[in-house]
Amino acid sequence: MTVVDRLGNGRTTFSVEFFPPRDDEEERVLWRAVRELEPLDPAFVSVTYGAGGSSRDRTIRTTGRIAQETTLTPMAHLTAVDHSVAELRNVIGWYAASGVRNVLAVRGDPPGDPNGEWISHPEGLEYAEELVRLVRDLGDFCVGVAAFPHGHPRSADLDTDADHLVRKIRAGAGFAIAQLFLEPEYFLRLRDRLAARGCDAPLLPGVMPITTPRVLAKFGELAGVPVPSAISDRLLPLADDPAGFRRAGVEVVTRLCERLIAEGVPALHFYTLNRSKATRQVVSDLGL
Q: How confident is the model at residue 28 (pLDDT cuts 50, 70, 90)?
A: very high
As a whole number of Å, the end-to-end CA separation of the chain is: 20
Average the pLDDT over 255-267 and give the result: 96
d(CA 175, CA 267): 11
**Quick check: 3 and 43 in contact, CB under 8 A?**
yes
Scanning 138-286, the segments in alpha helix (DSSP H) are 158-170, 184-196, 213-223, 229-235, 242-262, 277-286
DSSP H or E stretch at residue 3: helix 3-7
Q: Where are the domains of the chain?
A: 3-286
Q: Percent of the chain beyond pLDDT 90?
A: 67
Q: How confident is the model at residue 111 (pLDDT cuts 50, 70, 90)?
A: low
d(CA 244, CA 65): 37
Q: Which residues are catalytic?
A: 17
Q: Percent of the chain beyond pLDDT 70?
A: 94
> Model confidence over 139-160: pLDDT tens digits?
899 999 999 999 887 888 999 9
pLDDT(215) > 60:
yes
Average the pLDDT over 177-203 and give the result: 95
Q: How confident is the model at residue 221 (pLDDT cuts 50, 70, 90)?
A: confident
Q: For domain 3-286, say whether CATH 3.40.50.970 is its number.
A: no
